Amino acid sequence: MVISVKKSRPTEGEDIEIGLLIEALYQRYGYDFRDYSRASVKRRIMRRLSLDGFANISQMQHRLLEDAEFVDTLLQDLSINTTEMFRDPDFYMALRKKAVPLLKTYPSIKIWLAGCSTGEEVYSTAILLSEEGLYKKSIIYATDFNDHVLKKAKAGILPIEVMRGFTSNYQQGGGEEEFSKYYISDKRSVIMRGALKKNIVFANHNLVTDGVFGEMNMIVCRNVLIYFNRRLQNRVLSLFTESLVRKGLLCLGSKETIDFSESAHDFRSISAKEKIYEKKQ
């Protein structure tokens, strides 16, 4: 009699090892990726394994526990840093038409850009507020858990070759000024003008572990929730709900929604396509 033995899929061992590596990152350094989308985390870890020539993930975990510089490298891999100025121009047009009239009713405005990455979205928001006559009475809180990208965001320095695409985004998003007025350029890079930075506060805040960032008139967190599992999405949306004033605005990415979340009943949609919501009274 031949006894057949069911073989494990090759990825099962990797999944266990990835879970242990993520737990080690949390237990040793306090960075919690346990409720991030596992497929996204696995893809980024396997890329690092290939780039650094590790024999397996267990070897990578040993390096993680012994080498602080490697921890920084891995955090850059796991961070969500895909961004550009006036990304998704229709969203910025919707902000001008739907959000700005509501923001104009406040004597002062507090805006939280959560998961701000390297700052392109922060400066886009500052430009829009400036053109709509709201910047002087606004404070923008730009946060991320990654100090490396926060440093870049605060510096406001960008490669000059990306500005043509950003200019096109700006124009499609309702901008009517000369986009070049907002930065100083040389042959290789541009730096955003100091006037745009005046009312921006950059700060470290981790959506996974940190608390309420309150009394905000508007929260912008676009293309971040898609990297979280359902439990963490609910946790973050509850955090946003508590951080907003009544009738405050919540802006999500095009592939994100509060529908079917535990916070769905707290909001009404004011721009369904562009995912702009108003907190109910």
Q: What is the pLDDT of residue 281?
A: 81
**Which residue do the tokens 């967190």 mark?**
221
User: What pLDDT, on the 0 to 100 scale, is given for residue 6?
Assistant: 41
By percentage, how much of the chain surpasses pLDDT 70?
96
Contacts of 145 by beta carbon, 8 Å cutoff, 6+ apart: 31, 79, 204, 205, 206, 207, 208
Q: Give per-residue pLDDT as tens, 147-161.
A: 989 999 999 999 999
pLDDT tens digits along 58-74: 999 999 999 989 998 99
Q: For all residues of the chain together, what is the average pLDDT? A: 91
Distance CA 180, CA 178 (A): 5
pLDDT (tens digit per residue) in 109-136: 999 999 999 999 999 999 999 999 999 9
What pLDDT score was predicted for residue 10?
A: 44
Q: Which two tokens stand for residue 87?
A: 């990304």
Residue 3: predicted pLDDT: 42
φ/ψ region of 158 (left if φ > 0, alpha if ψ in -120 to 50, else beta) reads: beta
E runs forming strands in 115-221: 138-144, 157-159, 183-185, 189-192, 200-204, 216-221
For 214, how many CA atoms within 13 A lie in the half-sphere containing its CB? 9
> Considering only 2-6, 68-72, 73-77, 204-208, which range has the smallest mean pLDDT?
2-6
The structural domains of the chain, ordered by start, are: 10-78 (no CATH), 89-279 (3.40.50.150)
Among the residue ranges 11-15, 38-42, 155-159, 210-214, the one predicted with the least confidence is 11-15
**What pLDDT, on the 0 to 100 scale, is given for residue 76?**
84
**E strands in 38-116:** 109-114
Predicted structure pTM score: 0.86
> Any idea which residue has 């928001």 for tokens?
125
221 has a pLDDT exceeding 60: yes
Question: Which whole number is the average pLDDT over 18-41?
Answer: 90
Confidence grade of residue 234 (pLDDT, cut at 50, 70, 90): very high
Least confident of 32-41, 97-106, 117-126, 235-244: 32-41
